[in-house]
Chain A
Amino acid sequence: MKARENPFRVERVLTVRYRPPGWTFEQLMDRLERLNYRGAIVGAEGSGKTTLLEDLAPHLAKHKFHAKFLRLNEAHRTIDESFFESIGRSDVICFDGCEQLSDRAWRSFEKRTRHAAGLIVTTHSPGRLTTVVECSTNPALLREIIERLVGPDYSVDVESLFARHRGNIREALRELYDQV
């Protein structure tokens, strides 16, 4: 199958957005407001942290804030000076991958971004900011996402796929990409 026809191609997977389990974005925004828009989205890899962080942008815009994204990963662990210089007072920094910073670098980052309107981070483990959402996955969620991508008739052992990737939905969908 050609890559552009693969139902599990990245661009198509990215159209599946975060669905809050048992809470609403309005409730999350209320919680963030009480925390001066400083909080952490915590969860394992492939649990939807980045998707949720991205999906916060329009809700922040409704509150007259601008979501300013910063992404670090294992291949890119440094922050350019220009990032700090460009922070505005209506910016809520949406920092994906804050666990890439050492404790010392994190303290420095927090200090240098205090003039921003807020700081929301994603991280694998709690501790750096108050946890506002814990992202988690389960086989039912994986099944639901697969059905949204390929319909209900697609045959796959979701339980073992989920277990094989230890709940990492992104990696599970990558495996399915290779199978079609």
Chain B
Amino acid sequence: MSELKLQFESATHFGPGETLRGIASWKLNQPAAEIDLRLFWYTEGKGTQDVTIVHSTTLEHPQQTQSYPFQFELPPSPYSFSGKLISLIWAVELVVRPSKESTRQTFTMSPTAEEIELHTAMNK
């Protein structure tokens, strides 16, 4: 099994428009055709899942062992939030092709840099 790692330079809490910097590193068992690095958000909860890829970078014919610094400008929205029925989660994901091995690192994005809790927000 390959070793895949995603590490953010600083915290895992960000504000809209900030720059998320990090390092993707991998040690692959076999050569890969390409590696995708994606910034995206997805929902989890009771209903059907939504997924939106905001930025995506593809590295063709990557080295079998490599460290790759990356940075993404975060968009103004949507904010990370959680309620009883749905959570919105931001993440960076690294996907190796064609093996489809992947790893993911989640983070929160909101004006307070904290996840917005819907029941709290509604009670205010």
Query: In the complex the two chains form, is A174's CB within 8 Å of B46's CB?
Result: yes
CA distance A137 to B82 in the complex (A): 33
Which residues of the other chain, B, contact A174 by a CB distance below 8 angstroms? 46
The smallest beta-carbon distance between B90 and chain A, in angstroms, is 12
Interface on A for B, CB 8 Å cutoff? Answer: 1-4, 6, 9-11, 174, 177-178
Give 29 pairs: A residue, B residue, CB < 8 Å, sorted on A.
Answer: A1-B84, A2-B82, A2-B83, A2-B84, A3-B44, A3-B45, A3-B46, A3-B82, A3-B84, A3-B85, A3-B86, A3-B87, A4-B44, A4-B82, A4-B87, A4-B89, A6-B45, A6-B46, A9-B45, A9-B46, A10-B45, A10-B46, A10-B47, A10-B49, A11-B44, A11-B49, A174-B46, A177-B46, A178-B46
Which residues of the other chain, A, contact B49 by a CB distance below 8 angstroms? 10-11
Query: In the complex the two chains form, is A9's CB within 8 Å of B84's CB?
Result: no
1/0 per position for B39-54, CB-CB distance to A under 8 A?
Answer: 0000011111100000
Which residues of the other chain, A, contact B9 by a CB distance below 8 angstroms? none
Which residues of the other chain, A, contact B83 by a CB distance below 8 angstroms? 2-3
Which residues of the other chain, A, contact B44 by a CB distance below 8 angstroms? 3-4, 9-11
Given contacts A3-B85, A10-B47, A10-B48, 6 further A-B contacts (CB under 8 A): A1-B84, A3-B46, A3-B82, A4-B82, A4-B87, A6-B45
Which residues of the other chain, B, contact A10 by a CB distance below 8 angstroms? 44-49
- A interface SS class: helix
Q: Who on chain B is nearest to A180 by CB? A: B84
Interface size class of B (residues with CB under 8 A): 10 to 19
The smallest beta-carbon distance between B62 and chain A, in angstroms, is 24
A-B pairs, 4 with minimum CB distance: A3-B45, A4-B87, A2-B82, A3-B87
1/0 per position for B80-104, CB-CB distance to A under 8 A?
Answer: 0011111101000000000000000
The smallest beta-carbon distance between B48 and chain A, in angstroms, is 7
Whether a CB of chain A sits under 8 angstroms from the CB of B60 is no
Which residues of the other chain, A, contact B89 by a CB distance below 8 angstroms? 4
Which residues of the other chain, B, contact A9 by a CB distance below 8 angstroms? 44-46
Query: In the complex the two chains form, is B87's CB within 8 Å of A2's CB?
Result: yes
Whether a CB of chain A sits under 8 angstroms from the CB of B117 is yes
The smallest beta-carbon distance between A76 and chain B, in angstroms, is 12
CA distance A9 to B87 in the complex (A): 10
The smallest beta-carbon distance between B82 and chain A, in angstroms, is 4
The smallest beta-carbon distance between A16 and chain B, in angstroms, is 15
Q: Who on chain B is nearest to A2 by CB? A: B82
Q: Who on chain B is nearest to A1 by CB? A: B84
CA distance A135 to B83 in the complex (A): 34
Q: Who on chain A is nearest to B87 by CB? A: A4
